[in-house]
Amino acid sequence: MKSLLGLVPYMRPYRWRFLFGIAFVFLANVFGVQVPAITGLAVNSITGSGFQDALVTLTVFLVAIAGLAGCFRYLMRRVLIDTSRDIEFDFRNSAYRHLQGLDPSYYDNMSTGDVMSRMTNDIDAVRMVLGPAIMYTANTVFVLPMVLGYMLVMDWQVTLAGLSPMIVMPLLVKRFGSDLHRHARAQQDQLAQLTTYVQESLAGIRVIKAYGQEDSSTRRFDAENNEYIAKSMKLALTQSMFFPSIRFVAGTGLLAILYIGARRIITGSMDYGTLVSMVMYFGMLVWPLVAAGWVINLFQRASAAMDRMRGIFGVESAVKDSPATETFVMPESLDIEFRNLTFTYDGAAGPALQGISLKVPAGRRLGIVGRVGSGKSTLVHLLLRLYRVPDGTVFVGGVDINDWPLAELRRAVGIVFQETFLFSESIGENIRFGALRDLSSDEAADLARMAGVHEDIAGFPMQYDTMLGERGINLSGGQKQRVSLARSLGRDADVLILDDSLSAVDTHTEERILNSLQDVMQDRTTLLISHRISTVAMCDEVIVLEDGAITQRGTHDELVSREGLYVELWRRQQLEEEVQTVEA
């Protein structure tokens, strides 16, 4: 239960609402416990003289008392349940903000489905302990002493006889509590796994169909679903044994009261009204005892859920602003310098980059080429501080990149990632995403023209209002890349990074787009990553990466005059273009 202490900061702003809600619980029980006593008096009045007048008076009084109790029960539910929803809102927002601040390395090792399950099902389990569990716990705390007080005053011997079976209740709680927690955690973990599989299979439905794996995918889903059902059934079995056990104990106590009370009536030592009142009071004890079992279940589920949420909140981002950012002054020009940069991903066998040293003057263009896995994308990811950068190895504008405020750094850099990602919004909204100011429709269209995608968009019936499917699935690969390029241009950043962003378009389209970007790149520090030599030929300098190290550097003309990977790639691409020309 220690894990639930993490909810205290979220509850603190609502402490007065909790106090009012608990006060309403108290008042509801104050009036509620009067109902059995008044009912007992009404029963006794039937056998006395003038019972009709007394019965009418007691009935009116009973209705009034029950009405007040009902009003306060409404208020307690309204206040406490509404408060739990507000805390759920705050807690979910806090979790989402925390997720937004985590490094990409966290998502490298976490499945999307698992995170989604924690953000939905687990948070809902936490909400239940903040609303219903607190409400029923307070109800039990208040009703037990009130009811027991009335019963002991009426007949302490009958009361003790009815309560004697309750001594086994702590044993039941201890016996089933740990099992409920274990099965609840197993069920929630399996639900996360099931959610992950569904999310991945739906996102990859075209791959599944292309390889004819529909039946295999269905069988895998059946297996995951069956496992979830099996773990849910274990939890349900434990619950089905727990709650009836509590009811059985309570029922045994009721039988004791009825038996002893009936014998007292026969001997004349107890009247009918007292027995009716005691039976009603004992009935008021049964629900809190049953609710206690349900509340224990809620606490166990919430505890398991908070353990899983701690897997999110317990992760701290390694990339965050340092104290040096407080005195940061924006440099006048944004040249980029790498000084003996060596970087290794967590858990990797070897470094992704080693001994990188180079400088890109402000306004110049650097081309980066190399085979797959040579470290090209890693280099620019570090320039955005998506991962922890070793101190004293990367400088922007002469300032250590770790001394830049993250917000300022990422405002200064616009990037088109190698893996294009578009949101399920309109094309226009995707282009405007990330812009530092509101862009008009004409400005968005101008960006699309520079990216060479305006004509394609104009051909859609809804043009820039065309809604995109998941990850922009209703666009071709080349169209997605160009929309992403337009989005990065809308940021109007001083540093522009194109990470193999035109690989899905043909060479002629690429040449046309690069020509339209000449003015854009004129005053910007630009890094162009590409497998195509034609893309980087226009750069002021080109570096060749192999196994994370720079093996060649120079202008395009200089590199094609030397033996090495660069000229090898250039010759191969020249040959491919000649073959395509002949075939055409």
User: Which alpha helices (DSSP H) does 48-120 contain, by range?
Assistant: 51-101, 104-108, 112-117
At residue 346, what is the residue type? D
446 three-class SS: helix
Instruction: Determine the Cα–Cα distance for residues 181 and 233; give it in Å rounded to an integer.
Output: 14
> What is the predicted pLDDT for the residue at 198?
77
- How many C-beta atoms surround the C-beta of residue 449 within 10 A? 14
Give the DSSP letter of residue 390.
P
- CATH 3.40.50.300 in the chain, residue ranges: 331-583
- Dump the DSSP string for 187-202: HHHHHHHHHHHHHHHH
Q: At which residue do the structure tokens 């300022």 appear?
A: 408
User: The domain 87-313 is classified under which CATH number: 3.30.1300.10, 1.20.1560.10, 3.90.79.10, 3.40.50.2300?
Assistant: 1.20.1560.10
476 three-class SS: coil
What's the length of the chain? 584
> What is the predicted pLDDT for the residue at 284?
78
Cα end-to-end distance, the chain, whole Å: 72
Q: How open is the CA angle 8-10-13, to the nearest 5 degrees?
A: 100
- CA distances to 4, 228, 246 from 180, rounded to whole Å, are 16, 16, 15
Distance of CA 357 to the CA centre of its chain: 39
Q: Are 178 and 242 in contact (CB under 8 A)?
A: no
- pTM of the complete model: 0.71
Torsion angles phi and psi, residue 413, rounded to 5: -120, 125
- CA distances to 420, 431, 457 from 478, rounded to whole Å, are 10, 15, 12
Ramachandran area for residue 102 (φ above 0: left; ψ -120 to 50: alpha; else beta):
beta
Instruction: Determine the Cα–Cα distance for residues 481 and 487; give it in Å rounded to an integer.
Output: 10
- CATH 1.20.1560.10 in the chain, residue ranges: 87-313
- 135: Cβ–Cβ under 8 A, 6 or more apart, which residues? 21, 25, 76, 77, 80, 81
Instruction: Please give the torsion angle defined by the CA atoms of residues 486, 492, 496 and 499, in that order, rounded to the nearest 10 degrees.
Output: -30
Q: From first to last of its 584 residues, what are the pLDDT tens digits of the chain? A: 666 777 778 888 888 988 898 899 899 888 888 888 877 777 777 766 555 567 777 778 778 888 888 888 888 888 888 888 888 888 888 888 888 777 777 777 777 777 777 887 788 888 888 888 888 888 888 888 888 888 888 878 777 877 777 777 667 766 676 677 678 778 877 877 787 777 777 666 666 765 566 777 788 888 888 888 888 888 888 877 777 777 787 778 778 877 877 777 777 777 777 778 887 887 777 777 666 766 777 777 788 788 788 877 777 777 777 777 777 777 877 888 888 888 888 777 778 888 888 888 888 888 888 887 788 888 888 888 888 888 888 888 888 888 888 888 878 887 777 777 777 778 888 888 777 677 778 878 877 887 777 877 888 788 877 877 766 777 777 777 778 878 877 777 788 888 776 665 666 666 667 776 776 677 778 888 877 777 777 888 888 888 888 888 888 888 888 888 888 877 777 776 666 555 55
- CATH assignment, 331-583: 3.40.50.300
Token couple for 418: 């190698």
R_g over Cα of the chain:
35
Distance of CA 450 to the CA centre of its chain: 37
> What is the predicted pLDDT for the residue at 206?
60
Instruction: Determine the Cα–Cα distance for residues 434 and 489; give it in Å rounded to an integer.
Output: 10
For 229, the enclosing helix (H) or strand (E) is: helix 214-267
> What is the predicted pLDDT for the residue at 205?
65
